[in-house]
Chain A
């Protein structure tokens, strides 16, 4: 943690220096092309501007353009943005939307049409860029804040009929975006739900393809041996998010015998820097619970669990976090929230839970179910406000809890 702070400081100081050098190199006078304000002040102003204005202000003069295009500036700008949650109807993804910053989520704002026809799903989101799949498994990267979309080359899997599972994230070590595809599975539908499951993903020797945005190309690799060879690995196709924590992309899956009830949960991580796959165990106590989702809580990997039958008869939602990243023994239960007599828990399709620490108020929990979206306030001002259903007509929503508007270029 302390190292992180030091690195941030270091990052900021070096950024200011770089910015100054750019200004000095380009400017004929002491104050480069801006004649009325010193350079460091100009920088501070630019850092506070919205993406669209910045894209336009590249035209102001050479030094403004260089600053706005600089990777240090782009990263610093990101830190000035307030993250929020974006939603997408994942049965029919045509647009993303958010609820502004209102505590009650009573007004949809910011509807942005996805600029790709027939989008199948949003595979991941990091630093303001979304990774989408469309018809014929085409993969797109999209930055809604600066209206840029790019179709990336198809992954080089030898059998194009087989499915694959994607992960997407930003690698701060290389200042690059990575898409990783794990191939070779068979896909089957689960009756009575819109979901399907993918079997035999992550089995050793499966094909793996790793895409770098900077190189705009894929390279091929192979799945290492992280499971027993007799294990059946099963992954639900669309329910889980694949959160990025500590430069690694994560997927939740079951492994063990073919029967689901005989399987156990596991989390596979892919380190974007070392390109290594690892398997993390989840806490033993959690095995008995229904795991609703994986996600992030204050930059830690988190698990959201649900226990329907408790001694008090009130269902309990648990939030577990991996305190020390990569250490399976460091899982701790961060929160347990009881839901006395609320009706949503009777709904069988509570898809996911999100404990907001970024895109939401810090004491609220978001639940999506077949009868709409709910926000649960842990410390409400009065009891009537504890749970609120918003958008009862919307179901099957997926959410990306820490979307930020960024000026990362993808073209």
Chain B
């Protein structure tokens, strides 16, 4: 196993295996930004190959890309770091289509990438603010389970919110 050429310290590399068999070689410091991987490393110690049966390669790759960027940015202790991260986060979520966004969100949630979940939920929230109830049901594939009349009652009570 080769050590990273850009840093002088030898960092341990982990092998992450997605549900579809795709593997990623990542530095431990990057992968442990994800709470789930951090736990596995701490509990299982020397294991270098980690199988992640609930995430497929495409989304695991995206999650890791985000981790890498944040790990790199955080190594230079610049003041403008927060700004760089914010700018990069904005770029990262800007062009995600709905389907990718949801899968990525589920992957981040499964891997306990708290900061990434925050970023993605904020993105979803910004997309659904001001939407109609029917649009929300369609977006989230939700079927109304109210009895006839119940929904009208809630609408009447909160009629201002529908203006």
Report how far A37 CA is from B45 CA in the complex, Å: 32
- 0/1 per residue, A43-66, Cβ < 8 Å to B? 011011110110111111110110
Q: Which residues of B contact A351 (CB under 8 A)?
A: none
Q: Which residues of B contact A147 (CB under 8 A)?
A: 160-161
Taking a contact as CB atoms under 8 Å apart, the answer to whether A52 and B140 are in contact is no
Taking a contact as CB atoms under 8 Å apart, the answer to whether A35 and B141 are in contact is yes
- 0/1 per residue, B120-150, Cβ < 8 Å to A? 0110110011111100110011111110000
Q: Which residues of B contact A36 (CB under 8 A)?
A: 102, 140-141
Instruction: Given A49-B125, A52-B161, verify A37-B117 contact (CB < 8 Å).
Output: no
In the complex, B106 has a CB within 8 A of chain A = yes
Identify the closest chain A residue to B136 (Cβ). A60
Taking a contact as CB atoms under 8 Å apart, the answer to whether B142 and A49 are in contact is no
| 8 Å CB contact of B109 from A40, A49, A52, A65 | A40
In the complex, A347 has a CB within 8 A of chain B = no
In the complex, A38 has a CB within 8 A of chain B = yes
Report how far A285 CA is from B156 CA in the complex, Å: 58
Instruction: Given A44-B117, A45-B124, A45-B125, verify A57-B133 contact (CB < 8 Å).
Output: yes
Taking a contact as CB atoms under 8 Å apart, the answer to whether B154 and A59 are in contact is yes
Taking a contact as CB atoms under 8 Å apart, the answer to whether B142 and A61 are in contact is yes
Report how far A287 CA is from B145 CA in the complex, Å: 64
Within 8 A of B (CB), among A92-147: 146-147
Instruction: Given A48-B122, A53-B128, verify A37-B105 contact (CB < 8 Å).
Output: yes
Taking a contact as CB atoms under 8 Å apart, the answer to whether A41 and B105 are in contact is yes
Taking a contact as CB atoms under 8 Å apart, the answer to whether A48 and B106 are in contact is no
Interface size class of A (residues with CB under 8 A): 20 to 34
Identify the closest chain B residue to A51 (Cβ). B161
Report how far A53 CA is from B18 CA in the complex, Å: 37
Taking a contact as CB atoms under 8 Å apart, the answer to whether B128 and A45 are in contact is yes
Taking a contact as CB atoms under 8 Å apart, the answer to whether A59 and B129 are in contact is no
Taking a contact as CB atoms under 8 Å apart, the answer to whether B133 and A59 are in contact is yes
Taking a contact as CB atoms under 8 Å apart, the answer to whether A61 and B128 are in contact is no
Contacts between chains A and B (CB distance < 8 A), count: 88
Identify the closest chain B residue to A55 (Cβ). B161
Q: Which residues of B contact A58 (CB under 8 A)?
A: 154, 158
In the complex, B87 has a CB within 8 A of chain A = no
Taking a contact as CB atoms under 8 Å apart, the answer to whether B142 and A33 are in contact is yes
Interface residues on chain B, number (Cβ under 8 Å): 32
What is the minimal beta-carbon distance from A138 to any residue of chain B, in angstroms?
22
- 0/1 per residue, A322-338, Cβ < 8 Å to B? 00000000000000000
Report how far A57 CA is from B128 CA in the complex, Å: 10
Identify the closest chain B residue to A41 (Cβ). B109
In the complex, A34 has a CB within 8 A of chain B = yes
Q: Which residues of B contact A56 (CB under 8 A)?
A: 132-133, 158, 161-162
In the complex, B115 has a CB within 8 A of chain A = no
Taking a contact as CB atoms under 8 Å apart, the answer to whether A60 and B125 are in contact is no
Report how far A36 CA is from B151 CA in the complex, Å: 22
Taking a contact as CB atoms under 8 Å apart, the answer to whether A48 and B154 are in contact is no
In the complex, B58 has a CB within 8 A of chain A = no
Taking a contact as CB atoms under 8 Å apart, the answer to whether B106 and A37 are in contact is yes
Taking a contact as CB atoms under 8 Å apart, the answer to whether A61 and B158 are in contact is no
Q: Which residues of B contact A48 (CB under 8 A)?
A: 121-122, 125
Identify the closest chain A residue to B105 (Cβ). A41
In the complex, B86 has a CB within 8 A of chain A = no
| 8 Å CB contact of B102 from A37, A44, A50 | A37
Report how far A33 CA is from B109 CA in the complex, Å: 19
Q: What would be 21 A-B contacts, judged by CB atoms less than 8 Å apart?
A: A33-B142, A34-B140, A34-B142, A36-B102, A36-B141, A37-B106, A41-B105, A41-B117, A41-B121, A45-B125, A48-B121, A49-B129, A52-B130, A53-B161, A56-B161, A59-B133, A59-B144, A59-B151, A59-B154, A61-B143, A147-B161
Known: A48-B121, A58-B158. 18 other contacts (CB 8 A): A33-B145, A34-B140, A35-B140, A35-B141, A38-B109, A41-B106, A41-B121, A48-B122, A48-B125, A49-B125, A53-B128, A53-B131, A56-B162, A60-B142, A60-B144, A62-B146, A64-B142, A146-B160
Which 4 A-B residue pairs are closest in the complex by CB-CB distance?
A48-B125, A55-B161, A44-B121, A56-B161
